[in-house]
Structure 1
């Protein structure tokens, strides 16, 4: 009798407290409807209030973000002595209090969304302005009065996010990265793709097909394939862009290749955007936490990338 195929497992977890700045690899993280706790709660904006990202400001990749170790304990509440610490080449460290709420600033824009946010103050503004060489502010999502829904064309319900590009979770498999690296002259690390959940123990690009999975008893819905911008071409250690992996992905992972009868033939896809079905009753029965080593059970999937939403 053949033994059952082992389920894939979570191999790494990442949070990105400030949009487009360096991520933090963690062993566990609390779940929230807007993503892993602390993920993309902050964004740097320019003088017009528009989000600064690595697409235009690749130096953001060099901004290191540190959180207190206890910040990932479930039900953690920051105090006046709880700080996020930022470091960058040529800059003094900057401390951002996790509990203090500054004045509200209006007309903050991330892609299609515009709303209010908490201004993190003049010191943070000067720090990022000096580092990027242009007027900037650091702002935090105003969760007290703002809600940013995900695209209703792809997923219904009350799913929402903070300052991510569009969805609260991005999942990738190690096998997909390995398959890509076999085609590249110089292998690249996973940080080029900035996932939240990295899994291993499946076939390359299996995640393309997953429409519902369960991790630690929690149900996640695969919403749409993740179309990639120029950020994966930026070396996250140097902030310098090249031509890869986009050049290779255009030959192997473009819409023309994996979805020939669909629109967006010139986009490249790598990873699956997901939402947590936090309104499920099962979500109330467990500690709301996932961790490295958790099994990933595939409950529903489509038969090919042609059938996947994108």
Structure 2
């Protein structure tokens, strides 16, 4: 049963905003980020693909955790556009620095695939390809989402009419500090938030409150909570070393599996941590479409238990 909240008090506030320009590489933490219909600007706009055009991620190449990505600070100001001298800078242990122009590349590569989607993408060229080929030890290319010609819809069963770039499933993922703290109390070695790769970290609410949120307002924007975020093996990879272990997945399986949270639903052996979001507002340019650290989070609608949440 969904409840509509009439509370004028914020349920939480935004404490961190995270952007992952190259899918599966290191995070950039920012104080504000412009919203776009496909997620925060620059988030998962690039991916590395293998010689068959398939996305390479930490699931099959955990050492991508060691690849650092930097963007110009002003890239997170609303309305900023790259000039010919604007670059994304990529670094990794034992590698020269790679600079990628933020101006759109001209070459198009067909047959790029991420999960069930396939299409064309913009190819970042030979220097980037050689860099990632050398780092991973196998033929690789760096490609950029081609928003001018491609559309990648989210699962219409959960959020019809929304699109994303190279994120796994939905444009935004939110996690609460309370949930992370509750998990860490059960672990012998606490894990940092970077294991879970959220876009928005909030604090001030009870652990796992975000499971229940079906509609929230952050700043003046309304987000729909569309689906509990099911987790793959990436949270088991230490983001400082690129080495995988068994935690926190083993502990999450005991406290956050579908068997525990959704005992009366069809069991798929999944574990859940965080809430997937889409932005419900139409984002017209120049309207202050920015979320900032410190913004209050108001819960407008929620369900009464995780068993009732979409997953």
TM-score by length of 2: 0.96
Q: Structure 2 matches for 1:140-159, cutoff 5 A? A: 140-157=144-161, 159=162
Query: Which of the numbers 10, 28, 33 marks the counterpart of 2:14?
Result: 10
- SS in structure 2 at match of 1:160: coil
TM-score by length of 1: 0.96
Query: Which of the numbers 111, 115, 118 marks the counterpart of 2:119?
Result: 115
Aligned to 2:251: 248
Aligned to 2:93: 89
**Structure 2 CA distance, aligned partners of 1:265 and 1:84?**
39
Shift of 1:264: 3.4
- SS in structure 1 at match of 2:160: coil
Aligned to 1:76: 80
Q: Structure 2 matches for 1:137-176, cutoff 5 A? A: 137-157=141-161, 159-176=162-179
2:287 paired with 1:292: no
2:139 paired with 1:135: yes
**Structure 2 CA distance, aligned partners of 1:295 and 1:154?**
26
Q: Deviations over 1:164-222 (max 9, x none)?
A: 00110000000000000000000000000000000000000000000000011100000
**Structure 2 CA distance, aligned partners of 1:107 and 1:294?**
40
Q: Structure 2 matches for 1:219-234, cutoff 5 A? A: 219-234=222-237
**Structure 1 CA distance, aligned partners of 2:189 and 2:69?**
27
**Structure 1 CA distance, aligned partners of 2:110 and 2:37?**
24
Aligned to 1:196: 199
**Structure 2 CA distance, aligned partners of 1:151 and 1:226?**
13
- Unaligned 5+ segments in structure 2 are 1-6
Shift of 1:155: 1.1
Q: Deviations over 1:20-55 (max 9, x none)?
A: 000100000000001000000000000000000000
Q: Aligned pair in 2 of structure 1 residues 134, 284: CA closer, same or farther (>3 Å)? A: closer
Q: Structure 2 matches for 1:40-79, cutoff 5 A? A: 40-79=44-83
Shift of 1:132: 0.4
Query: Which of the numbers 22, 26, 39 marks the counterpart of 1:22?
Result: 26
Contact 1:170-1:195 within 8 A present in 2 as well: yes
Aligned to 1:211: 214
**Structure 2 CA distance, aligned partners of 1:80 and 1:284?**
22
**Structure 1 CA distance, aligned partners of 2:91 and 2:207?**
36
Contact 2:18-2:198 within 8 A present in 1 as well: yes
2:307 paired with 1:303: no
**Structure 2 CA distance, aligned partners of 1:309 and 1:124?**
40
Aligned to 1:274: 277
Contact 1:19-1:43 within 8 A present in 2 as well: yes
Aligned to 2:183: 180
Give the structure, 1 or 2, with the largest relative contact order (CA under 8 Å, sep 6 or more). 2
Count of aligned pairs between the two proteins? 305
